[in-house]
Structure 1
């Protein structure tokens, strides 16, 4: 597995078309950080790709970052979010609501392995069509 360490977290490339992002505890994710990880995903993954957002740490977003996340559509097909608390789930719902016009293919999970299984299943179903 390839791992990219960023100043605000890390990206694990789980498969050629699936990456996991883990933001560090206490980070306020801004638009520049979103652009940074978006460029990394687009240059190191096979398109279309999926993203596992692992919210194992507590962090927040600027409004600009929330909007910028909606712009990650070049190659990004599916998003699975793993939450470990009610506050993480609520924060995720807010970002989803801000970007509801983008018609994300996204699911929220309480267990990492269930999220990975869903990404594999949905990508395999897509490639079989």
Structure 2
């Protein structure tokens, strides 16, 4: 199932994995992040993971950078990038949020990245359940 939100789409891949695709040129605001959070909390009241498919170029406001990916049940984030700009933006965001110690891994969309990312997310979800 794919859901349209104000900033892009969220596809429900499985009972505990969502794929996020942000629209080209979007500037993610705090309000958009709150919409994103509310949707994910409703869909996943249990541990889940996110695949961020960076098909498009987009950016975040400062407030959004401080807020994004702060959900309690979020166990892993896979970022699939298709160019150097997307990879660098992911690295900058991870660096800014280093204190949060995200379980995030980047994959190249040009090298079967989406498939590898989904496999990694499934493994991370299983591992997080074992550790609990």
Shared fold per TM-score greater than 0.5: yes
TM-score normalised by the chain length of structure 1? 0.93
Q: Distance in 2 between the 1:113 and 1:47 partners? A: 23
Per-residue CA shift, 1:8-28, capped at 9, x if unaligned?
100001111110100000111
Q: Distance in 1 between the 2:9 and 2:107 partners? A: 20
CA contact (8 A) 1:29 1:62 kept: yes
Aligned residue pairs total 127
Which residue number in structure 2 is paired with residue 115 of structure 1? 117
Matched, 1:127 2:125: no
CA contact (8 A) 2:77 2:105 kept: yes
Gap runs ≥5 in structure 1: none
Which residue number in structure 2 is paired with residue 47 of structure 1? 46
Gap runs ≥5 in structure 2: none
User: Counterpart of 2:85 in 1: which secondary structure?
Assistant: helix
Q: Distance in 2 between the 1:80 and 1:124 partners? A: 15
Question: Offset at 1:73?
Answer: 2.7
Question: Offset at 1:46?
Answer: 4.4
Matched, 1:60 2:62: no
Which residue number in structure 1 is paired with residue 94 of structure 2? 96
Q: Distance in 2 between the 1:128 and 1:64 partners? A: 34
Question: Offset at 1:45?
Answer: 1.6
Q: Distance in 1 between the 2:130 and 2:62 partners? A: 37
Question: Offset at 1:4?
Answer: 1.0
Q: Distance in 1 between the 2:87 and 2:26 partners? A: 17
Show structure 1 runs of 4+ deviating over 2 A. 124-129
Which residue number in structure 1 is paired with residue 25 of structure 2? 26
Instruction: Let me know the Cα RMSD of the aligned residues.
Output: 1.2
